[in-house]
Amino acid sequence: MFNQYDLDEIRDRARAAFIGMAIGDAMGATVEFMTVPEIAAKYGVFKEIKGGGWLRLKPGQVTDDTEMALCIARAIISNQSWSLEAIAANFASWLKSRPVDCGDTCRKGIRAYMLSGTLEVPANKWDAGNGAAMRMLPVALYSLPDREMLKKYAQEQAHLTHNNPLSDAACICLGELLHLALCGAAKSRLRNHVDGFVARFPSFSYQPYRGLATGYIVDTLQTVFHWFFKGRDFEECLVGTINQGADADTTGAICGMLAGAYYGMDNIPQRWIKKMDRKVITEIEEVTLRLVAASPVGRIM
């Protein structure tokens, strides 16, 4: 079903997705919680990795979005299988390490695991934040191209902190879009997939675009959809997304993973890659190769 050429291409797209996610996180964090006019007044168009922001980051430093994705990736690799317990344990040691940032819903879920070992928070209609979707990339890589596996793992990892139908739907949709993009699908195919998703979950409708980019998963995905389909290359997609401000590191991380998977390494500006934290990029390169190798598509080769 997949020849060698395809697997090389998939590896390139997977690497671009993970690096793209980290770039979106690091770049977006500078303008997190700023409004569109505030960003425009201060930067014109914001399009460089500068650090700073409310977290006072070093240029190229990533935040919880990338760190939690790495927690999942490491858990899969060290177990050589899917272990929700291992993911939860990695989240717990990460939280104990005093991360630069951690969302409230994520913190609550991780604390519940630390206190009572729970691997699924109770269903909650208010927990429709984007914290479960932002860490979906390793799940999409490891399950490639199996949709049932993707769906199961997406919900399991999500429910460690977020147990909400909109969050679940978003995690699965994002994972499916990543699968399609990693396998080289055209943008028209991705748009088609999103149209089907919006038909089933009309609150995610992004046309006309409302311009909201908050941590509410609906606003987050609308922003990513709008700019991913509007942008003509990786840079346009990411710059458009991040200049919407608000939860810009997370919208940036999600748009970065999708646009990275779609456009591949050649299309990610070198000036951004050079600015990134070397240690993080080195680890990303390693875990990406290992996740693809452990996935169904990697194992049949």
Collapsing DSSP states into helix, strand and coil, what is residue 52? strand
Site for Mn ion in 80-139 (CB under 5 A): 101
* Interface segment toward Mn ion; rule CB under 5 A; list 15-23, 150-158, 247-255, 291-299: 247-255
The window from 38-46, 55-63, 110-118, 227-235 that contacts Mn ion (CB under 5 A) reads 55-63
d(CA 297, CA 281): 23
Pick from 250, 251, 288, 295 the residue near Mn ion by CB under 5 A.
Answer: 250
298: Cβ contacts below 8 Å, ≥ 6 apart:
7, 144, 292
Residue given tokens 């997609």 in the structure block? 237
Give the residue with the Cβ less far from Mn ion, 63 or 241.
63
Closer to Mn ion by CB, 39 or 294: give it.
39
Count of chain residues binding Mn ion (CB under 5 A): 7
Among 67, 168, 249, 277, binds Mn ion (CB under 5 A): 249
Answer yes or no whether residue 63 interacts with Mn ion by CB under 5 A.
Answer: yes
Which residue type sits at 41? A
Round to whole Å and give the CA distance between 298 and 80.
13
Written as six digits, the tokens of 163 are 């147990």
Length of the chain equals 301
In sequence order, which residues have a C-beta less than 8 Å from that of residue 300 and are 6 or more positions away?
Answer: 1, 2
Residue 159 Cβ, how far from Mn ion at the closest point, in Å?
Answer: 20
Closer CB to Mn ion, 10 or 253, in the complex = 253
**277 interacts with Mn ion by CB under 5 A:** no
Q: Does 247 bind Mn ion (CB under 5 A)?
A: yes
Using CB under 5 A as the binding rule, whether residue 65 contacts Mn ion is answered as: yes
C-beta closer to Mn ion: residue 130 or 164: 130
CB 55 within 8 A of CB 101: yes
CB closer to Mn ion out of 219 and 247: 247
Opening angle at CA 223, ends 220 and 226, nearest 5: 145
Q: Which residues contact 5 (CB under 8 A, 6 or more apart)?
A: none
| Residues engaged in binding Mn ion (CB under 5 A) | 63-65, 101, 247, 249-250
